[in-house]
């Protein structure tokens, strides 16, 4: 039902300060972002290190859904997003087990989501979503679609890059000796 944890969402009052903290200090790379006028908030996906992501949330007007959360704090973890390959199957499975959910929404093929309230998930707001992770990352962190791998010569060997199913790129650096061993093993395996 769940493929992986995609990101942790952090709601903040001072968005500019938080943005600088994550980008300038911690090296986060901004990805997709947008404003939702109906719910009065802005979101920004950021990639950190090797395949880790956070989402910054900020209210953009009065009566934002974030008002209650930020009423007595400067910021904090708002929710955790889990990726699923089928939002309707996830909803069905939750319903079969008597776990209530809310906010089942579909934004075309780009994003489908539902939420489990913290009272039903051990104190944590859970978002379950169906989406293509690469659609939300900076293009510099993704591989072109339909490319199964890339091999690049390095001074001491090679680097092999693969698209990660959770979005982004996985890179493996091999010495010349290990690259030859891998090539031999692949040839033995396919013969």
The helix (run of H) or strand (run of E) holding residue 81 is strand 75-83
Residue 50's pLDDT is: 78
**156 touches 122 (CB < 8 A):** no
Using DSSP's 3-state secondary structure scheme, residue 143 falls into coil
pLDDT tens per residue across span 89-108: 999 999 999 999 999 999 99
Please write down the long-range contacts of 100-108, taking CB distance under 8 Å and 24 or more positions apart: 101/128
Q: What is the model's pTM?
A: 0.87
| Paired tokens of 36 | 């939702």
Chain mean pLDDT for the chain:
95
Instruction: Provide the Cα torsion 50, 53, 54, 55; round to 10°.
Output: 140
pLDDT tens per residue across span 27-56: 999 999 999 999 999 999 999 987 899 999
pLDDT < 70: residue spans in the chain: none
Which residue intervals of the chain bear CATH 3.10.180.10? 4-136
- CATH topology for 4-136? 2,3-Dihydroxybiphenyl 1,2-Dioxygenase; domain 1 (3.10.180)
Residue 146's pLDDT is: 85
Residue 185's pLDDT is: 96
Residue 145's pLDDT is: 84
Residue 165's pLDDT is: 87
Residue 127's pLDDT is: 98
């Amino acid at each position: 039902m769940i493929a992986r944890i995609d990101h942790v969402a952090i709601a903040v009052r001072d968005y500019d300060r938080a943005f600088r903290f994550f980008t300038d200090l911690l090296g986060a790379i901004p990805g997709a972002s947008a404003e939702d006028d109906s719910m009065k908030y802005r979101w920004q996906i950021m990639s950190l290190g090797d395949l880790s992501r956070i989402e910054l949330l900020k209210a953009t007007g009065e009566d934002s859904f974030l008002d209650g959360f930020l009423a007595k704090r400067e910021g904090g973890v708002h929710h955790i997003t889990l990726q699923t390959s089928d939002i309707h199957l996830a909803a069905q499975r939750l319903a079969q087990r008597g776990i209530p959910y809310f906010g089942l929404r579909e934004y075309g093929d780009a994003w489908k989501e539902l939420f489990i309230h913290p009272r039903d998930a051990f104190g944590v707001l859970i978002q379950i979503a169906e989406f293509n992770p690469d659609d939300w990352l900076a293009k510099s962190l993704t591989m072109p679609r339909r490319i199964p791998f890339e091999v690049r010569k390095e001074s001491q060997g090679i680097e092999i890059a693969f698209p990660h199913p959770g979005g982004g790129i996985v890179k493996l650096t091999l010495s010349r000796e290990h690259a030859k061993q891998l090539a031999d093993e692949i040839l033995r395996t396919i013969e």
